[in-house]
Every structure is written in C-alpha cells, then in structure tokens.
Structure 1
Amino acid sequence: MDTFLTKKRFFVFSLLLTLLVLMPCLYAQEDSVTPVPRPDKWWQERFQSNQERIQQGNVDVLFIGDSITHGWDNVGKNTWDEYYADRNVVNLGFSGDQTQHVLWRLENLKWGNVQPKLSMIMIGTNNCHHHTGEQIALGIEKIIDKLHTLFPDMKILLLAIFPRADVSQDKLNIIAEANKRIAEIPKTKPFVHFYDIGAEFLDENGTLPKTIMPDLLHPNAKGYEIWASAVEPKIAELLGEYTPENPPVGFVPLFNGVDLTGWKGLVADPIKRAKMSPEELAAAQQKADEEMRAHWKVVDGVLCYDGQGNSLCTGRDYEDYELLVDWKIEANGDSGIYLRGTPQVQIWDNKDGIGSGGLYNNEKNSSKPLVFADKPVGEWNRFFIRIIGDRVTVYLNDKLVVNKTVLENYWDRSQPLFPSGSIELQHHHSPLWFRNIYIREIPRGDGWKKLFNGKDLTGWQAFGGNIDCWKAEKGMLVTEGGEGCGWLATAEEYGDFELELEFRLPPGGNSGVFIRAPKEGNPAFEGSEIQILDDYSDQYKDLKPWQFCGSVYATVAPSRRVTRPAGEWQKYHISCVGSKVKVSLNGIQIIDADLNEHLDKIKDHPGLKRTSGFIGLQNHGTRLEFRNLRIRPL
C-alpha cells in the first residue's frame, strides 16, 4: 500500500513538473507578439504560393489578415476582380491566423525588390480566444512596425476588427478593447490610417444579419461587396487614384475640375419647382444660371463660391447613391449638402463642440453628428455620404458621424423624403471651397448586372458592320462612328427588363438605344429605339415631336424636354414589361406608353409587336460615350 501511494505521489509530482516545464512553451505559442508558424500542410503550401507570387514582382498592394481576408480568393472573387484585379494586389490572408502567425509570415517571406505602396490590415478576431484586447493591439502594432521596417514608404490602411456575433459577450468586449487601442496608433505613426467600417455590416438596429455574414463571422459575396465599397475611396486616395481622370472604382466625377459643366443654378425648392410651367421654369433657370456664373468659379481645380448669390445644384436628379466631396470653410463659415433637394448634411464652424456632418434640419430623428470629426478651419475635410431610401450615412474624415439615420422631408414634414432630387451645395453668405466631388449611383432592387465591365467589349457583339469602331476607353464604352461600323448588341437577348445607362453627346451628336431588336434588319424599326440626340443643335431645329431625345423613335414623343446640353452626362432608365415602355431621362419620367396603342404604325414598325431581343447601341456617325450600363431582367 505504501509502495502504491509512493508511486502515485511520484506520478502526480512528475505530471506537475512536466506541466511546469511545458508552460513556457504553451505561453509562447499563445504570445500575440512572438512570431510563430503553423504546421498545417495547406498553410505551408499557401505560404509558398505567396512566396512565388512575390518573386514575380509587380506588387503594389498587400492584403493582410485571416480567413476573412483569405475569403477574397473564393467567396469574394467576383468583387476582387472588379476592384483589385488591375491593382497588383497580393492576398496574404490565411484562414485561422492570429497576429503571431502573420508576424512569422512577414519575417520569413523573401521580399526581393518589391516596393508595395499600400497594405490593408484586418487581423485579430481569432486572437480573442487567447489574448486580451491589449495583447491583440500589441500584436497588431508589431505587425505594423515590421511592415514599416520592410517598406518605409508604404502606407498602411488599418481596419478595425470586423463585428461578429458567434462568440460570447466577453470575447466581443475583448475585440472592442482591441479596436479602441488600435484606433490610437495613427497618433504616433502618421503612415497608418485607421478606418472602422464595422457599422457597414450591421442593419439600422445595430444587428449583424445572416444575409451578410451567414455564420455571423465570415462575409458572403454581399459582405465582400460591402467591404470593397466601403474602403474603395480610402484605397484610391492612398494609391493616388483620386482625380476626375482616374476616380475611385465605381465612381464618376460630378465636378471636372475645369468648369461648371454638369451644374446649374438653384431654382426655388422642389415643391415650388414642380408647380411651375415649363416656360416659367425655363425662365427661372436662365436667371439662376446667370447668377451661378457670377458667383461660382473654378480656380486651380477648386470650385469656389464668393458668398453671394445662391446655391449650386447638379444638372440632373439622383436617387440612391454614394457621394464623395471635399470641402473647406473659413472662420464662422456655414454651408451644407442637400440630398435629393432636401437639407442637409451640415457644414459649419461651430463653437459649441458640435461638428459638421449631422442632419441639421431633422426634428424627429437625430440631427447631431455622433462625434466631432472636423479638421481645423481652413483645412480640407472629406465627406463620404450614402443615401439609400430615406436613410443617410455620413463619414467625415474617416469617422462615422451619421449611421443609417432617416432624413426628414424639410419641405413637407407630412410626406416622406422625395424619391429623387438634385444634389446641392448650399450657399449661406460665406465663402466656400469644394473639390474632388464623385458619385456612385446605387440601383434600386436586386438582380442588377453590369452590361459593360469598363475594360473591354466582353459581352458585346456587332451587327450590320464591324466592331472595330467600338472600344473601351477610361471606363467608358465609346464609338467614333465611321463607315462600315455596326451597331453594338448585347450577347444575350432580353424580354422584360429595367435598363440603366449614362451617355454623353458631342454638339450635334446622334445615337439611340435599341430595345428588343433582332439581328437582321433596321433595329430602330424591327425592334424599337429610344432616341439619343443633341436636340438643342441648330441642325435639328425642325424636329418632329417623336424625334426628340427620349422619344420611342417614330412612335411616342416625350412628355417634356429634359435633355442637358451637349458635353454633359445624361442618364436613361428604361423599363420594358410586356407592351408597356417607360423612360426616365435625367431622373424625370418622360415616357409611359403602351406600344399596343400604336399598332397603326405596325406596317413600317413591326418591332412594336416584339417581346424580346437584343439591347443595342447605335452608331450614327458621331462620337458617343456610354458608361454605367446595367440591366435587371424581370
């Protein structure tokens, strides 16, 4: 018995001693700042694959992270191709990694002569099972220090750890503490830019939906779209891709940096404008435009306002969109951005500690910004504004100041916000400066797909001639006209659909959008044509009503004339359901027709009976530019 007890005690003692010996190893394995590799075969193979890609050179951007970053290779692949395929990005995301694993990879990769311009880091969520918030932050900071040692000129976009809802609250508290600490890193490391986009994944109630992260941790395809869209303006800025000639992916310039093309003077408010006759509105617009030209000027690429006159507004209306705009004011300055003609995202030099960005005129919903994010008076500030439905989100200088808040209808509080309207730069009797104004329209409804990828003619074919006079140019689909050139048709046929596109005409330009057209014959009559025309040109002064821009050519005249001058971008929204055709030009519906009511023209226009066919773009001998072509089959 004594021998058995002695042996038992010896075994327990030996076990405790072994554990004491192993504890430093176990601790080292869980140290967030000590580089540690992982033994998994796939992990070693992916590391080698990264090494081979880096050895090829031509590396401009690094994405660093765990499985969430790794997912760009599969679930996020389509979005990756849209945003990053042409940017020489290397994906250094490894499923399951923690900060210590990233450190090992950075230390052991052979970097050669590559000199990345930018690194985007999103790491730390897996550490929450083993480390405190402070330890996670220390691990992230050590990653940053290692990158800066390797590439001193590289900029770093540091993302807050994304929200998740698959762990206990104590783990979420650890992540929140880590995010709080890493948000302070740029104060001592100016090459680091911290950006918390976590709210982008949450609904208006602050809940993480499974429609974006099905397992409440990893984004699905929609989640990767949200990620890319949220960081794109910042990535473009840090890569120097932030000019009217080279805007952020998906955005187009509202201000060309040269003149006031695409803008007009403000006439009254939306309700009063709607009550004006076409003649009254035209006269008021002429006067407003004269006032605009007197007080709004472009100086060295900056849109300048002298403090007199009235507000400036876009040449056409917009529905849902993301808007980027830089602004600057002087002491006691005051202004704002009107969305859909409605006040406003506030701009001001406020002395009471309430900064810019709030929805100032709200009464029932929040009107103040969440945080003070203004730069000192006289310095440039940047808004990132999103409006979807009646809810508005605003980032000011990369900080969230308005989160999915309802914008109230200031002009008639008994009514919801207008579904569309102009974007206005508010005058408030003080000098103002604006630059870098870009917009990305967000189509309403699901099921939209791009018809043009912005890079080549994939998905298109030419009928009635060759395709050589059509090309992709700076994100636009362009034709120079010329003999032997065919009309451009989609590869697929469509029946019922919604179609959106933007076009830009030169003076005297002429073209059209063919709908439900067959391969053979004149597509304007074997199918139907929505007219595109510079109908202000003197050569078209004797037009018949059914020839104006926006008409269903030779069939239905537009209800009103809403075309913009040649050289400005204009937008079509075309809907075809059965025999019903609706056309909106520049945000205003001008056609609501039933083609069955025009069958008296069927002899010359057999296309009136067609229920499906190709979507086409007409070559009519002049240069034409198209962009943002997308369709939603119904």
Structure 2
Amino acid sequence: MAVSVLLSCNQVHHNILTSQEEKDGWVLLFDGKTLDGWRDYNGASLTEPWHVVDGCIQAKGTGSDGSGYIVTDKEYENFELVWDWKLSKGGNSGMLYHVVERPQFKVPYVTGPEYQLIDEPNFSEKLEDWQKTGVDYAMYLPDTAVMKINPAGEWNTSKIVFDNGHVEHWLNGVKILAFEAWTDDWFARKNSGKWSHAPEYGLSRKGLICLQDHGYPASFRNIKLKELPRKSEDVLLYNGKDIEGWQTYGTELWYVKDGLLVCESGPDKKYGYLATNKYYDDFDLTLEFKQEANGNSGVFIRSIVDEDATVEGWQVEVAPKGHDTGGIYESYGRGWLVQIPDEKESILKEHDWNLMRIKIQGDNVTTWLNGEEMVNIKDERIGKGKGRIALQIHDGGGIKVLWRNIRLKTL
C-alpha cells in the first residue's frame, strides 16, 4: 500500500500537449489512459507487467533482466524525447532508444542505448559509475557536479536529444552529458567494455523507444517526442589504403594490395565477411568488383552479425556467370527472393571490372549491374530490416575477388 501511495500520479495537466507544442511537431507517446501504442519487445501485443495508474504508465516491478521490456509501435531516428519519471525506493529502470527487434536479440539493451534511472542511495548493491542515473549506460558518464536528482517517490524530468549522432542527456532542466555517437572514441568504449560481446549494440540509426521494468515499480508520464530531420551523407566506405571502418568476421582473408581491397579464401575454406562498423539503412551504394578466380561472393545489406560471427540479412549476389549476380538472397528463412533471368547473365563481365549499384529505401530495393537494372522489388521484411553493409566470401575455397570505389549516399 505504501508503494501504491508513493507512486500515485496526479492526472491534472499531464499527458497533454499545448497548441504550440503541437505546431512544433511534438507527439505524445502515452495518452495517460491506455497502453495503446506499446507492446512487448519482440512481441505483437502487450503481456509484460505494465499498467496505467492515475495517469501514469507504471512498471509493476515484477520484471527482470530478461523480461519486462515494452516498446513503441513506431520507430524513431533523430528526435528530442522528454519524460517525467518517479522510482520506488531502491528502484531501477531505464529509457532505451534505437532498439532493434529480431529473434536473435533476446533483450533490447544489446541493441539500443539506455538513459539509466536508478535510486542510488537506496539500491541494494554497489554501483559502478557507469550504472548510475543519467549515464549513457556502460558508455558515457554525466557531469555529476551539475546534477540535481529528486529522491525516490518524487518526480524528475529527463530529456534525450539524438541529432544525427550528436547525443545529449538532460536532467531537471540541466544538460548533464553530451557526446558524439560512432566516433573513434565511441567505438573504443563499445569494444572494450560491457558491449564487447554485443556486436550490434548502439549501431542502429533508427529504432524503437523502450521502457524497462527491472524488478522495481517505476512510473512515467508526459512522454513526448519531437522528430528532427535526417542529414544526408556522402560516404567513402573504402579509403584505398586499409580497412578502417570495417570489421572482419571469420578466418578468410581481407587485405589491401595496390590500392585494391582483396577478399581471398583462406586455409579453412569457410564463409568470411567484412562488415561496416556502422549501420546504413536507406542509401544509394556503388562499388566495382573484379573476379580473379571463382567469384562466389556478395554484398549484404541491412544485415547483422550473430554471436557465431556470421552475417544474417539480405545479400545482393556476386557470383560467376550463370549464378544470378545482382539477384537478392535472404540468408535466413526464405532463401532466394529474386534470381536473374538467363538473358541478363551476359551483363556480367568475367575477369574484368564490373560496376554494381544498390539502392534501398524503405521496402524497395533496386540493383543494377554495369548500368542495367537487374532487380526492382518491394518486400515487407526488408522494409523492417536495418543493419550493416558487408562483403562476403563464400565457403569452399578457391575464391578471389577485388573491390574498389565503394561509396554511398544516405537517403
């Protein structure tokens, strides 16, 4: 009963937008009355321990590390996100964003960053600095000298700004933290700490908003968001000198020789991948390739790296003549989505340079080979996908492909 009183909410003048906020593009993520617009992580409905109490969306406090997460129906990319929050004594919760759903991800925090919320004075265990309120969890620490946190049972207001990689955390009207995502410093922190075994953590540029029930009652209200515009980028993915900006997976060979990126089968003769360390979702990509030996390779789009270091997603085929170069293959589930008709197989130039173009926007994918359109499809599952660009070496050995002029424009 004490907890119920502690976390009760005053409904007056909450969970509404002013006319000016509406004009400025703000939307409410919680209407103060229902859980419409929220569902389980990786689920189609809401079954996790959350309910509405006196105008608050409230965690019942029965969640755990592996459960209790709810997400918005809609994804968001660049935004300002503001919310009020109140914890029970010793409480632990969080606000996550850019969360990605796939069956491979059992919990959302291995994909999306978290603004941590925790009652430090009364928490039952010793906390590291990277676990405390206001942190970008396990990554960046706030300036504690300017922070003022109201105690358990009292309301606080937080804000996250995510603007094309620039991130800010605010608490009770004060900016407490700012950093740039996907910089060398960001990757150094990601790869050396808690997320070193979570290869997809923090890479997505777009995703779901997520609330966490971590075993303690917690209340939220006035959850509102304003989307910010995306800035287009022209990106040179391969610099002609080394594989900076890429990561190798598997034991096959990736190296630079005479300014060219070379993939070559190694002694294990298994699948191998070279994947960008950033996500690219909507883009227009061009690259050139030359097959010096068996050219069974490919370009993965919107793809993720599994725990066993294999890439899963959609592959635009690069293969010897007669084997569907420019076609699209799904590496999990459905297999070939589109194969190339026989009359288009002659477009591939054997043992010579070929120009491939891949344009993907929303659920539409178009591929070209040497200026000729090969595939133009719309696919709902691709439309929901997000992830890296990756080059592949097929298993079996005897493969050698050269690559150059890999660049894209984000859309």
Please tell me the TM-score bracket, short chain as reference. Answer: 0.3 to 0.5
- Length-normalised TM-score, structure 1: 0.30
**RCO higher in 1 or 2 (8 Å CA, sep ≥ 6)?**
2
- Name the structure where helix makes up a greater proportion of residues: 1
Which structure: larger Rg?
1
- Length-normalised TM-score, structure 2: 0.46
